[in-house]
Amino acid sequence: MSLINQTPAWKALEQHWGQVKGIAMRDLFASDPGRAQRLRLSAGGLDLDYSKNLITEQTRSLLLNLAETADLSGWIGRLFAGESINNTEQRAVLHIALRNRSNRPILVDGRDVMPLVNEVLDRMESFVALVRSGEWRGFQGQPIRDIVNIGIGGSNLGPKMVCTALGAYGSDELRVHFVSNVDGTHLVETLRDLDPARTLFIVASKTFTTQETMTNANSARDWLLAASRDPAAVAKHFVAVSTSAERVSAFGIDTQNMFGFWDWVGGRYSLWSAIGLPIALAVGYDRFVELLEGAFAMDEHFRTTPLAENMPVVLGLIGLWYANFGGARTHAVLPYDQYLRLLPAYLQQGDMESNGKGVTRGGVAVDYTTGPVVWGEPGTDGQHAFFQLIHQGTQLIPADFIGAIRSHNEMGDHHLKLMANFFAQTEALMRGRTTEEALAEMSEAGVPEERAQLLARHRTFPGSRPTNSILMERLTPYTLGALIALYEHRIFVQGVLWGINSFDQWGVELGKQLAGVILDELREGRVWADHDPSTRALLEAFIRGRSA
Ligand code: G6Q
């Protein structure tokens, strides 16, 4: 198949951007009173208002036409049918099976995977009950108080983000910590105040070979053994989440205490699997199931809703509109919810590792933009930092605003102030402020004419800056599950449109290989391998510094 940007559907959009880019978004609203009502969708407890975008009815239909050209519906069908759509790794992509609450059979190589999924869920439920009830005891016979998840990338970011997002559902009786960085500081600082006799480690690694995780796991075991002085303590204080029973066993963890998952679960899509064990421990198994149910609701919406009314599809197409036709290079995710503060970092991996690709599924280099840089911080903090550039800078930065109607921590008018800022920002970004408006405002405030003239250009806001507003009643396990699944599917939609494989990560694999030789050199204190002059000089300086 030819590259998507060679198709008539793409060319039509290119031309259309030329017509739309100069339109003021405020005029779109003025000329079409029903716009806000029409450009909204609901699914999985989430309400999306996407009317503050630079799109017309024609844009929508041209984008949908592009989706049809890329056979998006066919790809959604293939995803849910368990086909091997991760073609470079020859794997199915079935995070949707992990939260398939209908238990509808999903076949991989002719075998229904649902019994496997349910069996691991049952084991998680029993284990969580033992730990949370205090029946699971450490080497001195005490219940567990601290859980330390050791994992990195997909084996860290998802559960860490969800545990933070569901902070309102946790308790101080069982605290969950995450160690990912191979920088010893991470482990040392995390363990500083913990009691080995009351600490349980989860070693979370799909492959059980990742350098950072295995290094941290070994050091954690040393820390435990220094206190317990008994190798038998490992069985009481270490459990593993992995696809490799052999390597888990070689590490010294009893495979009775191992929770499995499968190669058809990608790391960055794995929080729904046993990788979510810290979530279930932190908030309880039932709430973990609610998280799965929320994601399932979004899956069902995505699987069965026509493209025009399909929330992940609509968001994916709008993102592509700005990236490929409007020249946007980044996408801001701005949660107006302190509990969602790690969502941007989580989505950074989800999106950038999935769609940061330069060749099509068939290996042909693309000459169009693929995945954007994803970034963001919670509001209102971001407003006092980088919002200036979104309002008045020279780049187009599409942004998603995410908020809840009710807070878990209602206190005075905090939540009203928080959300007033959410709404004000999206309104200001859309409307902007004309020079005439700026002048009129200053005149009303009594600013002398000369000064007003000087300031008018600075106080002008171009407006027409696109935002999506996502609102939920409250941030619950259910709405969070739906929100994460929404973004997962948005990533998939864009990957399909760009013709790339969103589910491999050869860039990460390279990183996993590269450091090995240099590590040997640093250990030996001698540079012997072939390096460029800059790297060689850096290594020599480092070795000199260490031996001084
Ligand atoms: C995710 C990536 C990557 C992976 C980590 C950890 O999709 O593949 O982030 O999750 O490299 O890998 P392990 O779980 O195998 O330790």
Inter-CA distances, 425 with 342, 399, 467, Å:
21, 11, 9
Q: Spell out the alpha helix ranges (H) of 229-310.
A: 233-237, 245-251, 277-283, 285-304
Q: Which atom of ligand 1 is nearest to the CA of 207?
A: 15
Q: Residues 207-221: what's their mean pLDDT?
A: 96
Given a cut of 90, whether residue 51 has pLDDT beyond it is yes
pLDDT, position 508: 86
Q: Residues 311-334: what's their mean pLDDT?
A: 98
**Residue 513 pLDDT grade (very low, low, confident, very high; cuts 50, 70, 90):** confident
**Residue 1 pLDDT grade (very low, low, confident, very high; cuts 50, 70, 90):** low
**Residue 511 pLDDT grade (very low, low, confident, very high; cuts 50, 70, 90):** confident
Given a cut of 70, whether residue 510 has pLDDT beyond it is yes
Closest C-alpha to ligand 1, atom 5: 153
Q: Residues 194-204: what's their mean pLDDT?
A: 98
Given a cut of 80, whether residue 157 has pLDDT beyond it is yes
**Residue 148 pLDDT grade (very low, low, confident, very high; cuts 50, 70, 90):** very high
Q: What are phi and psi of 473, to 5 degrees?
A: -65, -45
Lowest average pLDDT, out of 331-335, 401-405, 407-411, 513-517, goes to 513-517
pLDDT, tens digit, 9 for 90 and up, residues 265-313: 999 999 999 999 999 999 999 999 999 999 999 999 999 999 999 999 9
Given a cut of 70, whether residue 347 has pLDDT beyond it is yes
pLDDT, position 64: 98
pLDDT, tens digit, 9 for 90 and up, residues 459-489: 999 999 999 999 999 999 999 999 999 999 9
Q: Residues 201-224: what's their mean pLDDT?
A: 97
What percentage of the chain exceeds 70 in pLDDT? 100
Q: Residue 164 corresponds to which tokens in the numbers above?
A: 């933070």
Ligand 1 pocket check for 268: Cβ under 6 Å: yes
Give the pTM. Answer: 0.97
- For the chain, give the number of residues: 548
- Given ligand 1 and candidates 91, 93, 152, 208, which is best to mutate, with the most ligand atoms within 8 Å of its CB? 152
pLDDT, position 514: 76
pLDDT, position 536: 97
Which of 384, 444, 450, 458 is an active site residue? 384
Q: Which atom of ligand 1 is nearest to the CA of 152?
A: 6
Q: Residues 25-30: what's their mean pLDDT?
A: 97
Residue indicated by tokens 């309102």: 168
pLDDT, position 2: 84
Rounded CA separation 10/62 (Å): 8
Largest alpha-carbon pair distance within the chain? Answer: 82
pLDDT, position 318: 98
Q: Counting Cβ atoms within 10 Å, is residue 487 exposed (0-12), middle (13-18) or buried (19+)? A: buried
Strand spans (E) along 180-329: 199-204, 238-242, 258-260
Q: Residues 167-179: what's their mean pLDDT?
A: 96
Distance 502 CA to ligand 1 centre (A): 14
Inter-CA distances, 289 with 141, 151, 286, 451, 520, Å:
30, 22, 5, 61, 45
pLDDT, tens digit, 9 for 90 and up, residues 485-503: 999 999 999 999 999 999 9
Inter-CA distances, 214 with 260, 349, 430, 476, Å:
17, 21, 49, 33
Q: How many helices (H) and strands (E) does the chain have?
A: 23, 13
